[in-house]
């Protein structure tokens, strides 16, 4: 028979601790101009706050406590000084998750959302490059059907032409579920 020790006086209920644990502690980082630039952990955000390199814009309902300090749990922070971010997203590493996020987690041939993989529109064997403009999300059946041919050769059409993703795509890759507090900063 298992015994459960009582919670300390003043402690949050067990369900509250479990809820906090699932949030995974992601914080949206805004540049000094309020432009979203990154997602970081709560720990990193607190370090930036303690070093006076950032300020809290949105915070959770509960606080973080240390032995000598209580701080609001940040959800959105803004850097105090402007950080120049290179805009050459075509040079950013192409990953499966980034391609899926750019394409709305749907096959670009049939719209299916299951068994996703990536496909080179112009196959590498026919001179196609591994670039944002040539890679799309594809379900496994469409990828097998297309094989090593061009889409028009097998009677397939793309729903959307592949393109270099916007910087916001990388925010969605870092945090697939977007908290409500982030919405107004990502709307653009």
Q: How many residues does the chain have?
A: 188
| Gap between the Cα atoms of 130 and 123, Å rounded | 9
pLDDT tens per residue across span 6-54? 444 444 444 444 444 444 689 999 999 999 988 999 999 999 999 999 9
Q: Which residues pair with 74 in a beta bridge?
A: 59
Q: Say how far residue 76 (Cα) sits from the centre of its chain.
A: 14
The sign of the torsion formed by the CA atoms of 7, 11, 17, 19 equals positive
Distances (CA, A) of 66 to 14, 60, 70, 101, 154: 20, 17, 6, 37, 63
The count of other CB atoms within 10 Å of the CB of residue 106 is 18
0.85 exceeded by pTM: no
pLDDT tens per residue across span 99-129? 998 999 999 999 999 999 999 999 999 999 9
What are the structural domains, with CATH classification, of the chain? 15-85 (no CATH), 89-154 (1.10.30.50)
């Amino acid at each position: 028979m298992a015994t459960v020790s009582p919670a300390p006086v003043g402690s949050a209920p067990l369900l509250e601790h479990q809820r906090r644990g699932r949030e995974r502690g992601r914080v949206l980082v805004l540049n000094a101009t309020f432009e979203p630039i990154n997602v970081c952990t709560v720990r990193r955000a607190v370090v930036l706050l303690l070093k006076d390199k950032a300020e809290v814009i949105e915070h959770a309902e509960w606080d973080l406590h240390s032995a000598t300090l209580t701080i609001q749990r940040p959800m959105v922070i803004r850097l105090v000084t402007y950080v120049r971010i290179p805009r050459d997203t075509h040079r950013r590493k192409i990953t499966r998750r980034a391609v899926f996020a750019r394409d709305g987690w749907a096959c670009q041939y049939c719209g299916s959302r299951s068994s996703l993989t990536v496909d080179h529109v112009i196959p590498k064997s026919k001179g196609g490059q591994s670039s944002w403009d040539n890679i799309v999300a594809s379900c496994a059946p469409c990828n097998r059907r297309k094989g090593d041919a061009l889409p028009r050769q097998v009677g397939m059409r793309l729903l959307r032409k592949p393109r270099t993703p916007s910087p916001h795509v990388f925010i969605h890759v870092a945090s697939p579920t977007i908290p409500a507090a982030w919405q107004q900063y990502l709307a653009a």
